[in-house]
Structures are given as C-alpha cells and as structure tokens.
Amino acid sequence: MFAKAQRRIIIPFLLPALVLLGTFFLYPLGRTVVISLSEYSRTGRSKLVGIENYLAVFGDGQYLTSLRNAILLAVIGGCMLFPPAIAVAWAFHHRLRGERIFRFLIFSPVVLSVAVVALMWKFIFHPTLGLINPAFATIGLGELIPVLLGDPRTALSAVAFAAVWHGIGIWIILISAGFSRLPNEVLEAARIDGAGEWQVFWRIMLPMMSDLFRVLIVLWFVQSLQAFAFVFIMTDGGPFGSTEITATLMYRTAIDQADYGYAAAMGIVLVAILLVVALGLNRLLKRDDLEY
C-alpha cells in the first residue's frame, strides 16, 4: 500500500523528464532507425532496403578509417587532458597564492563557443599567418615545426590539443571536487605515519578517486567519438582524410551526397559502438568499492 502511494507521488515528478526524453531522444533515435532502413534519392523519394545500409557500413573502408581516427582522437586527447588536469586540480587542492586568477584563466576558455575556439586555433596553427611556425622561423628553427594542420602526422594531435584547451577547465573542476570530498582524517593519518605529499597523492588520493576517474574517462571517450565542430572547422577532415572522423563523414554523406539512409545507418552503428565502448571501459576500470 505504501509502495503504491510512493509511485503515485513519484510518477508526476518524472513525467516532465520522460516527455523531454521521449521528444528529444527516443523519437529521434527511432526515426533515425527507420531512415537507416531506407534508401533516399536526391528528389526526396525513398524505398525500403532493409539492412543493406548496415552491411555497406561494415564493409566501408572509409567508415572504418574514420572510426579509427575518432578513437585515436579520444586516446591522444585523453593523454593530453588527464595528466595536466589532475596536476592542476591537485595544486588547487593545496591553496596556491593567486588561485582565483589561475582558476579564471583556466576556466575562461570554456565560456567561448566551439566555433570561436576552433577558428582561433586554426589561425594560430596557420603556417604563415599564425603564431607557432613564424615564431620558430624567426629564431631559425622553422624546419623543426611542421605545418601542424597540413601534415597528416600532426593534424589529429593539433585538433585534439585545441579541443582539450577549450574544455580542460570543466575536467579540472570535476577532479577538484573529487579531491575536496576526500576525508581529511585519512590523509592526516597518512602524513602522521610519515608519508610524504607525493606518497599521499599517489598511494591514497588517486586510488580513493578511482570511481570518479572511471566515470570521467568513459565520458571523455563518448564525447570524443562524437566530436564534430573542431574537425569540421579546423581541417574539414583533411589532410588526405587523416582527421576524418565518423561525425564529419556522416555529415558529408548526408549533406553533400544526400544519402540520408546510409548516413543514418552510420549514426546507428556509432551509437552501438559508443554503448559497447562505455560498457567495456566501465567494466575494465571498475574496482572494488572503497568506503570512507
């Protein structure tokens, strides 16, 4: 009886969220599945083709290459993001002098739009009008720096750096919140037992935050695999397809080629891959729960 009364109270509060979820997620997802089972002509006519689009996706070398690039972008960006984010958050945890200024400088890029940041870094990386290549050329070291967005070996890393620079403030705040919720009693006990600050950080603080890092790593990979704006604005998939990721390939297939069914199939496959990656990372990084 009490459980039924609880459900009557809870359901009205859930209805707005369920309506929004159904309108902006479930319905578009279902509609995308329907579109992915059809073939569209440039005149807008469609015919049902079943799973042919999906079979074509799994045999499409360009799609597999874009997926590999998206995974590389996530890995390279993660290596650029988490070490400095953890270091800065740890420094903030120790109350630095001028901390408010540093927080402002680190968080300020987050409030800029992705388009503005992408265009800014595209200009900075420009081989003649930018800042990096001309600066090295001025001191006679121009040959050491390639054309960052024009070289297939460095273009993806340059895009990942711009994306990390834009969003690192959010991740620092999340990690700082994790540091702040650690029990001071445990840390002080370790210091009294003779542990140095590095040992406290490496052997106590990081293991106690393993659940937070697991969530953040999963979120980063999911976010990176869906990256679009930085690649589209900075390189448009070039040079020679070295930065072409799944999101930009889907856009090109749908808008340039008007092949909406095939682009929708690409999107559904990407959603399935994201679910597998998220579940796999969650299981791989899962550790025994710590109670404190």
Mean pLDDT calculated for residue range 166-191: 88
Count Cα atoms within 13 angstroms, Cβ side, for 60. Answer: 20
Instruction: Map 28-80 to HEC letters.
Output: HHHHHHHHHCEEECCCCCEEECCCHHHHHHHCCHHHHHHHHHHHHHHHHHHHH
The tens digit of pLDDT for each residue in 61-97 reads 999 999 999 999 999 999 999 999 999 888 888 777 7
pLDDT higher for 27 or 50? Answer: 27
Task: Give the separation between CA 250 and CA 66, rounded to whole angstroms.
Answer: 10
Q: How confident is the model over 123-133, as a mean pLDDT? A: 88
Let me know: does 132 contact 148? Beta carbons within 8 Å. Answer: yes
Q: How confident is the model at residue 3 (pLDDT cuts 50, 70, 90)?
A: low
d(CA 226, CA 232): 12
CATH number for the domain formed by residue range(s) 60-284: 1.10.3720.10
Residue 162 has pLDDT above 90, yes or no: yes
Segment 4-14, tens digit of pLDDT: 666 777 778 88
pLDDT for position 192:
84
Question: What pLDDT, on the 0 to 100 scale, is given for residue 230?
Answer: 93
Asked whether the predicted pLDDT for residue 55 surpasses 60, the reply is: yes
Say yes or no to pLDDT of 283 above 90. Answer: no
Angstrom distances, CA of residue 130 to CA of 122, 139, 175, 233: 8, 15, 33, 16
Confidence tier at 281 by pLDDT (50, 70, 90): confident
Per-domain residue ranges of the chain = 60-284
- Residue 187, pLDDT above cutoff 90: no
pLDDT averaged over every residue in the chain: 86
Between 147 and 4, name the one with better pLDDT.
147
Residue 237 φ/ψ region, left for φ over 0, alpha for ψ in the -120 to 50 degree band, beta for the rest: left
| pLDDT score for 5 | 66
Dihedral, CA atoms, 13, 15, 21, 24, nearest 10 degrees?
A: -120
**Mean pLDDT (whole number) for 266-292:** 79
Of 68-82, 238-252, 272-286, the one with minimum mean pLDDT is 272-286
CA distance 71 to 66: 9
Please compute, for residue 140, the number of CA atoms within 13 A of its CA located in the half-sphere on the CB side. 0
Residue 39: is its pLDDT beyond 80? yes
Predicted confidence at residue 85, as pLDDT, reads 93
